Structure 1
Amino acid sequence: MGLINELVGKNLKGLTFPEYCLENIVLDDKTPFNVYNRAFMKEIVESIFLDPHVTISKGAQTGFSTLFLAHGFYMVDVRGANLIYYLPTDKMANRFGQTRFDPYVQRSDYLKSRLLGTDQAGLKQIGTHFFYMLGLVSKTGAISIPADEIIFDEVALINRENMDLAQDRIMASKLGWQRYFSAPLFEEDGIDELYRDSDTRKWVVRCTGCGRESILEEEFPENIRDERKKKGRIYLACVKCGKPLDVYNARWIAEHPDRNRTGYRVPQLIIRETRLDLIWDRWLKAQGKPAKLARFRRSVLGIADSGNMQPVTSKVLEIVEAAGDYYFQDTSEEVCGIGIDMGDRAHVAILAPYGEEGFRILAAFHIDVEDLLLRIPDWEAAYNAGALIIDAMPYKTESKRVVRILQEALGFIQYFKATYRETTEGEDDREVRVIQVDRDESLDDTTALFATNPPQALLFKPRNTEEEKTLDEIRRHLKKLVKEETTGPDGAKKISYKRNVENHFGMAINSARLALEMVRSQQRKSGPPVTGGRVIGRNIAADIVW
């Protein structure tokens, strides 16, 4: 044992986590880390050592990177766990190691004595166990490494499918802990989606004057008092009696205590040291500016707000579903458009006309790609398909087979290019039609039909549990048709729909809308009349010379 201790240092198994932090975690200002320096942290600290699944939706600069880094040190060093700390990209993971992990080690003689294997940026050995820091921009970071605990930082920016895949890393562990924290971004996406699936705990402040309880971030800005013109201060006040609120005279209350996943929302307002004057001035300057108001709500209140970057929200879908009054359909007498998004599974959307430009989603399916060819003939016949558009990538060979198997419907493989174009690919009997569309413009056209009032895109009602699951998936994928600001090679900024997110049904609906436009275009040229959005006649595809 003496030789082992000489090589890796002697750990401190007798210390609790708060004691460990006070002795060995030194903050940037050279003070010891007191995990209980804020009243609301006590229950959270207890939860991350008790509950297997913890989610924290937080405001910016609320101290959770420090907390979870210290937690990671303790788990690997004292509890003998192997831990993976995930960030959105490898670059962010490397920077985290250099600017957060390494400085904390350098400020502690004890941690320096315990650290081995420092030659790899993303792998640190503490004693006999390992602390990994990995990016999740691709599936590579999610595979191969077993762990006892996985921590996800900046969840709002992590690809959800890769994050789900990373959960396999803890399947063989008796511990199997998962921790997620981030400032929120889009509604019901990323950390907001995880928080809504939890027991949704909120910090409820009790007024010492009238006893009324309130959730500060939900009553902002009505609970702010600005008395600076009277040489006073800005403070949080009870909206009933007006008395100043003590943000630490409060407790965590779960909105859904029956759920088995623990979740907290931590706004900046519940931190006693928060500069309310800066927060209030920032709020005033953001008035009339949707993008700035959205950033304020996310970073200060810890509440997801996409501004104008999420065209299809829960509120939009509520209006859409209220406007529709029909059920999932197994067949159609109207000529329909079919769209298919290809991936590990194929997502299929079938649309019928609604009005002059809109559509009704009649049916939707998600199946294994290898089963797709078996289903296409049935769908073509049952839904009276006039046109079908399918992703060219990532399985171009399979997509071409789908197009070739069509009996009457017009079929295209689809590429996203800046300029609209219809062309062909291949020769003789291998030739297939190709459609090129601008990705952002086409998605704008699709999402606008949902967001129009009244909506011009409608959703079916489910008839059974399976169709309800499909409808839930469609809702989720539509809400993930979100935008982000990107910078091109020339340095110019552009707003584009985000890639590599779980929006498969949204993309399938977009392709189906384009297919329906093909049908309408042919009908305008030579087809039967359209009345009230309904095509008269069974299958005009057979009558049209494509």
Structure 2
Amino acid sequence: MSLLKDLVPKREDQAISFIEYCRKHLTLDDGRPYDPIGRGFMKEIVDNYHTHPHMTVEKGAQTGFSTLAIAHTLYMVDVLGKNIIYYLPTDAMANMFGPTRFEPYVQRSEYLSSRIRGTDQKSLKQIGTHFFYIRGLVSKTGAISIPADEIIFDEVALINPENMELAQDRISAPGSLGWQKYFSVALFESDGIDELFDASDKRQWIVTCYGCRREATLESDFPDNMVKKNGDVFLVCPKCGHKLDVTNARWVAEHPDRDSRLGYRVPQLIIPDTKLSLIYERWEKAKDRPSKRATFRRSVLALPDSGNMQPISPAVLQRLEELSDYYFHDHSDVVTGVGIDMGDKAHVAIAQPYGAEGMLPIAFFEVEVEELSELVKQIEEAFNPGALVIDAMPYKTESKKIVRQLTKCRGYIQYFKGSELKEGVEGEDEKAVNKVTVDRDESLDETTDLFAANPPLALLPKPRNPKEEITINTVKLHLKKLVKETSGSGEDATIHYKKNVANHFGMAINSARIALQLALGQSRMTGPAEYTPVVRSRFRKKGAY
């Protein structure tokens, strides 16, 4: 037993605090000991980081949270004997994290170097008798089936939400602490980290002016609170002009009743030693350029901003709400198009034509896939559909069943392929069903353009009761998630709509628009006219029938 004690270096006494552990064993790149509460705004965050089971940080770039996460992971594994999984968006990022972010701290500490035992791979670190896993979540295989006491998600905005949800099962084992930490720069409003922050108690750093006692966040006042005078840049109160002290502030929760989920917004502006002159220069270059302005707001102000990558933005939805003058419908005498997005549940949108090329969604439904057949029967009776378009995938058999059951309108299964809208038939004889193919990105552009046009060519209905209010809020959330992303780089870079996000009603509305394009001119009363294939990119007054 004495020989074993000699071979395995003794770990730190469990009585050592996290802060003391950091100051004693972690050295920053510039040679200074790491003090996690060296910046005043960090004290509360650090206290809660070490004690609270669920924390979200919506942050600006280079605000120090990866360092905090590494330090706390070392402490948890080394001192408290816990197993931790650290998730990043991709395997490549995970493979780089160990050598570039984790190992330098270990190499600068004689004690930590002595504590690394056994397996020392890029994605697996053994400290004493417990483990620190580093995994990419580009696929479900990254959500490894190993129990952990804490899971950490870095760069949440880039992680596939379905894989992130699957990874949460790692902390469900009996005896696990069940801790979850999320931090990232925000990209789109109500997407990724911003959605998590919105579900938290939403703590913001409220700065008090010494001059007039006005209280506000620095990011909400920007750029009115930044001035340049005699070559110096500083923050001032927009009301009285007094110079602001960013340390004369406190964290205030917008929703204190949600204390089971802590959330912090951390912009660069609240860091006392941040270089305001560089921020000022960046803003001057970015303010008149939408894409650069969006990047600035995300990285400096910790505010989500999609630029032109979120066609249906909160501002667009606000304009739609102001202009809308109609309510949810229970029936329609006007011909409608029905769109169905298939997944774990079926999301259904029903739309009437609006002017020469617009549409008015009038009803939405979310049902279990098993209940869809009965719902479609009711829709045929009540909403006068001219055409119904339903996803061919992922439940092709069920989708074909829905198309075959239709008695009063024409049905299509839908595929995303090709470059323009085309109709065809799949199968033969009694198994034959109509199909329509469209380019996914071009088709979604046509739909989002209708809402984003000024004036809009598509609106949304007003709710008549609390249930419909919940529904329309979900529809708006899904429309905001029709966001774009860039793949590749340089000349090979392409922009396309993001997949694997909760935009189901948005996709259903897109299919309803296509259904209208196929059906316009047909009504249940008159029946279909002679059929002609549709090849136009937008529907006009004459349609498929």
TM-score (norm 2): 0.91
Q: Which residue of 1 aligns with 2:290?
A: 290
CA 1:541/1:477 → structure 2, altered by over 3 Å: closer, same or farther? farther
Q: Would the aligned equivalents of 2:298 and 2:304 in 1 still touch at CA under 8 Å?
A: yes
Please say if 1:245 is aligned against 2:247: no
Shift of 1:299: 0.5
**CA offsets per residue over residues 346-379 of structure 1, 9 Å max, x none?**
2221222222222222222223334433433333
CA 1:3/1:202 → structure 2, altered by over 3 Å: closer, same or farther? farther
Shift of 1:159: 2.0
Q: Would the aligned equivalents of 2:40 and 2:247 in 1 still touch at CA under 8 Å?
A: yes
CA 1:26/1:4 → structure 2, altered by over 3 Å: closer, same or farther? farther
CA 1:144/1:331 → structure 2, altered by over 3 Å: closer, same or farther? farther
- Cα distance between partner residues in 1 of 2:220 and 2:29: 33
- Cα distance between partner residues in 1 of 2:465 and 2:52: 34
Q: Which amino acid aligns with 1:153?
A: D
SS of 1:273's equivalent in the other structure is coil
Q: Which amino acid aligns with 1:236?
A: L
Shift of 1:381: 2.7
Q: Which residue of 2 aligns with 1:213?
A: 215
CA 1:226/1:321 → structure 2, altered by over 3 Å: closer, same or farther? closer
SS of 2:258's equivalent in the other structure is coil
Q: Which residue of 2 aligns with 1:530?
A: none
Shift of 1:17: 0.6
**CA offsets per residue over residues 96-143 of structure 1, 9 Å max, x none?**
122112222222222222223435432222222221212222233335
Q: Would the aligned equivalents of 2:409 and 2:524 in 1 still touch at CA under 8 Å?
A: no
Q: Would the aligned equivalents of 2:148 and 2:176 in 1 still touch at CA under 8 Å?
A: no
Q: Would the aligned equivalents of 2:211 and 2:242 in 1 still touch at CA under 8 Å?
A: yes
1:149-228 to 2 correspondences below 5 Å? 149-172=150-173, 173=175, 175-227=177-229
Q: Which amino acid aligns with 2:505?
A: F
Q: Would the aligned equivalents of 1:8 and 1:126 in 2 still touch at CA under 8 Å?
A: no
Q: Which amino acid aligns with 1:276?
A: L
- Cα distance between partner residues in 1 of 2:5 and 2:407: 75
Shift of 1:2: 4.8
Q: Which amino acid aligns with 2:162?
A: E
Gaps of 5+ in 2: 532-544
- Cα distance between partner residues in 1 of 2:3 and 2:403: 69
SS of 1:258's equivalent in the other structure is helix
Q: Which residue of 2 aligns with 1:27?
A: 28
Q: Would the aligned equivalents of 1:118 and 1:124 in 2 still touch at CA under 8 Å?
A: yes
Structure 1 window deviating more from structure 2 (497-506 vs 464-473): it is 464-473
Q: State percent identity of aligned pairs.
A: 60
- Cα distance between partner residues in 1 of 2:425 and 2:319: 40
- Cα distance between partner residues in 1 of 2:492 and 2:166: 34
Q: Which residue of 1 aligns with 2:406?
A: 406
- Cα distance between partner residues in 1 of 2:31 and 2:429: 74
SS of 2:106's equivalent in the other structure is helix
Shift of 1:543: 6.2
Structure 1 window deviating more from structure 2 (40-49 vs 428-437): it is 428-437
Q: Which residue of 2 aligns with 1:306?
A: 306
Shift of 1:465: 4.2
1:100-499 to 2 correspondences below 5 Å? 100-142=101-143, 144-172=145-173, 173=175, 175-227=177-229, 230=230, 232-260=231-259, 261-420=261-420, 421-487=422-488, 491-499=491-499
Q: Would the aligned equivalents of 2:88 and 2:153 in 1 still touch at CA under 8 Å?
A: yes
Q: Would the aligned equivalents of 1:333 and 1:539 in 2 still touch at CA under 8 Å?
A: no
Q: Which residue of 1 aligns with 2:539?
A: none
SS of 2:257's equivalent in the other structure is coil
Root-mean-square deviation (CA, aligned residues, Å) is 2.3
Q: Which residue of 2 aligns with 1:531?
A: none
- Cα distance between partner residues in 1 of 2:219 and 2:238: 13
- Cα distance between partner residues in 2 of 1:4 and 1:179: 36
- Cα distance between partner residues in 1 of 2:385 and 2:2: 77
**CA offsets per residue over residues 289-346 of structure 1, 9 Å max, x none?**
1000110111011111111111112222222233334443333322221111122222
- Cα distance between partner residues in 2 of 1:223 and 1:471: 36
**CA offsets per residue over residues 17-38 of structure 1, 9 Å max, x none?**
1111111222222322111211
Please say if 1:518 is aligned against 2:518: yes
Q: Which residue of 2 aligns with 1:47?
A: 48
Q: Would the aligned equivalents of 1:334 and 1:539 in 2 still touch at CA under 8 Å?
A: no
Q: Would the aligned equivalents of 1:408 and 1:542 in 2 still touch at CA under 8 Å?
A: no
Q: Which residue of 2 aligns with 1:502?
A: 502
- Cα distance between partner residues in 1 of 2:52 and 2:124: 26
- Cα distance between partner residues in 1 of 2:449 and 2:88: 33
CA 1:204/1:52 → structure 2, altered by over 3 Å: closer, same or farther? same
Q: Which residue of 2 aligns with 1:534?
A: none
- Cα distance between partner residues in 1 of 2:140 and 2:466: 31
CA 1:454/1:4 → structure 2, altered by over 3 Å: closer, same or farther? farther
Q: Which amino acid aligns with 1:184?
A: A
TM-score (norm 1): 0.91
- Cα distance between partner residues in 2 of 1:496 and 1:17: 44
SS of 2:424's equivalent in the other structure is strand
Structure 1 window deviating more from structure 2 (464-473 vs 495-504): it is 464-473
CA 1:111/1:539 → structure 2, altered by over 3 Å: closer, same or farther? farther
CA 1:245/1:457 → structure 2, altered by over 3 Å: closer, same or farther? same
Q: Which residue of 1 aligns with 2:535?
A: none
